[in-house]
Amino acid sequence: MRAPFYAVFAILALFSSAAAYALPVETITIDTKAGPHSFSMEVASDDESREKGLMFRKEMAPDAGMLFDFHTPQLVSFWMENTILPLDMLFVRADGTIARIKANATPYSRENIPSGEPVQLVIELNAGRAAALGITEGGKVHAPELAKKPH
């Protein structure tokens, strides 16, 4: 009798913890060689969600990604530990300009990937997506997080 109860409890606990981690999703636009391109972004805007990021994810839709909002410009650094997917990282200034792109970050790597200058956002896309769409350093990102703050 107790075994089924504990099994049901464990399953409910698993689903509630997954739901507790569900992040808000919003649409952003990035200027590309062919014009504006929309992406559906999970928004990581607190320490816990930024720390977990895309770790352990096995797949991501082509026009999906994660947006890390640091709220104010600051030097940041990323790594790929426990990240299964190869990623492109876009480091974005408070005015929406892409300061740096780290293309094809290696899964599971502990290599330090610094912003190089203060940035407000970091956007992670599937590896190769930035090059395929013609997203370049100096290009613009249009995101609600940038509109909320004075530059």
Nearest partner of 90 among 13, 45, 32, judged by Cα: 32
Domain 23-147 fold is Jelly Rolls (2.60.120)
* pLDDT range class, residue 147, cuts 50, 70, 90: confident
- Which pLDDT belongs to residue 56? 62
Which tens digit of pLDDT belongs to each residue from 46-71? Answer: 667 566 656 667 788 899 999 999 99
Could you tell me the pTM of the whole model? 0.81
> Which residue from 25, 45, 39, 40 is spatially nearest to 121, judged by alpha carbons?
45
pLDDT band at 84 (very low <50, low <70, confident <90, very high): confident
